[in-house]
Amino acid sequence: MPEEIISYFEKKYLELKEKAKTYGELKLLIDQEWKDACFNEAFWGILLREQLKRLLENDMGSLYIGKEMR
C-alpha cells in the first residue's frame, strides 16, 4: 500500500483518538467513520475501517478500556 495512504490512515486514527475519551468511544468513532466512508465509496470505507481497527489494536497498550485515555 502506498505510504501516503498509510499516512492518511494514521492521521485519521490520531484525529479520532483525540476526540474519544474511552476505548469504547474510539471504537464507535471508527465505526461512524467507516459508515460515512461507505456512503461515499464502499471499497474506500472497508479499507479505512480495517486500517483504523488495525491501528487501534496496535495501540491497545496505551489505552485503558472504559477509562479516560488522556
Q: Name which of 60, 52, 58 is nearest 9 in CA terms.
A: 52
Can you give the pTM of this predicted structure? 0.55
Give the pLDDT confidence score for residue 66 in this predicted structure: 53
Dihedral through CA 8, CA 13, CA 60, CA 46, nearest 10? -80
pLDDT digit string, tens, across residues 16-50:
999 998 989 999 998 888 777 766 677 777 788 88
